[in-house]
Structures are given as C-alpha cells and as structure tokens.
Amino acid sequence: MVTILLIVLALTLLIMAYKFKRPSLGIAGSIAWLLFGLYSLTLSTVTWDIYYDLFVLGMGLFIMALIESMMLRPKTEEEAPEEDVWGKARSEYLERKQQQNERLQEFRVMMGRRRTDKQRERDDDFAETGRF
C-alpha cells in the first residue's frame, strides 16, 4: 500500500511540475522517487528480488527526475507569450520582404530605362548605318 502511495505521489508531483513549470515540484517528485526506492530496499529480503529491482528503478527515476527538474525553466510573468514572439518575427519578415520587393521593382525600372536608352542608341545607329 505504501509502495503504491509513493508511486502515485511521485507521478502526481512530476506531472504538476511539468504542467505548471515549477522546478520545486519536480524536486519534490524526485525526492518521492528516492523515498520509494529506499522503502523498496527495506522490503528486499535477498539481493535480486522484485523489491530490489524496484529500488534500482526508484534510484534511476530519482536521478532522472532531479536532472529534468533542474533543466525545467520556471515560467515568469515577464516573458512574452509565444504568439507575441512569432507575431513580432512575422512582422519583421513581412517588412523585409516588402523592402526586398521594393528594391527589386526599382532594379527592374532601372534596367528597363537602361534597355530603352540602349535601344535609342541603336535606333540612332540604324539611321546612320542601316544596321541594328
């Protein structure tokens, strides 16, 4: 009964830690895995019975939950929501795309003028030489 209670406690604390992004709940969940492992070790009668295996499992989960809870970044109120970040990046992208389109249009106009100037020069040459 105590074994099941410790498993449920550890899982509940870890799920709450990931949902609310609180490292303190993750550390409490890892301590619950530690208690589960140590309790399983006290129930072990021989070296490789089921309780000894549960002890090894509890220690592994304790280490992994502790590492993951340390890497879990707390959510602060100062952080902007993801939508605002993507909205800002999208507006910058659209602004740069608009500038690129404007520069491309200016380039096309400039090249068009150059072509017409060359055509005029060729037309003048045609009047004199009769060749294009």
64 inside domain: yes
76 inside domain: no
Give pLDDT, residue 127. Answer: 60
- State the residue range of the domain holding 87: 81-132
Q: How would DSSP label each residue in 39-86? A: HHHHH--STTSHHHHHHHHHHHHHHHHHHHHHHPPPP-TTSPPHHHHH
Q: What's the token pair of residue 98?
A: 């608009």
Identify whether residues 8 and 65 lie together within a single domain.
yes
Give pLDDT, residue 93. Answer: 85
17 inside domain: yes
Identify whether residues 10 and 45 lie together within a single domain.
yes
Identify whether residues 34 and 90 lie together within a single domain.
no
Identify whether residues 97 and 66 lie together within a single domain.
no
When divided into structural domains, the chain yields a total of 2
Identify whether residues 24 and 54 lie together within a single domain.
yes
Give pLDDT, residue 109. Answer: 80
6-12 long-range Cβ contacts below 8 angstroms, 24+ apart: 6/32, 6/35, 6/36, 6/39, 7/36, 10/36, 10/61, 10/65
Give the pLDDT of the chain (132 residues) as one tens digit per residue. Answer: 888 999 999 999 999 998 888 888 999 999 999 999 999 999 988 888 899 999 999 999 999 998 988 888 766 665 555 556 667 777 888 899 999 989 988 888 877 766 666 666 666 666 666 665
Looking at residue 19, its amino acid is K
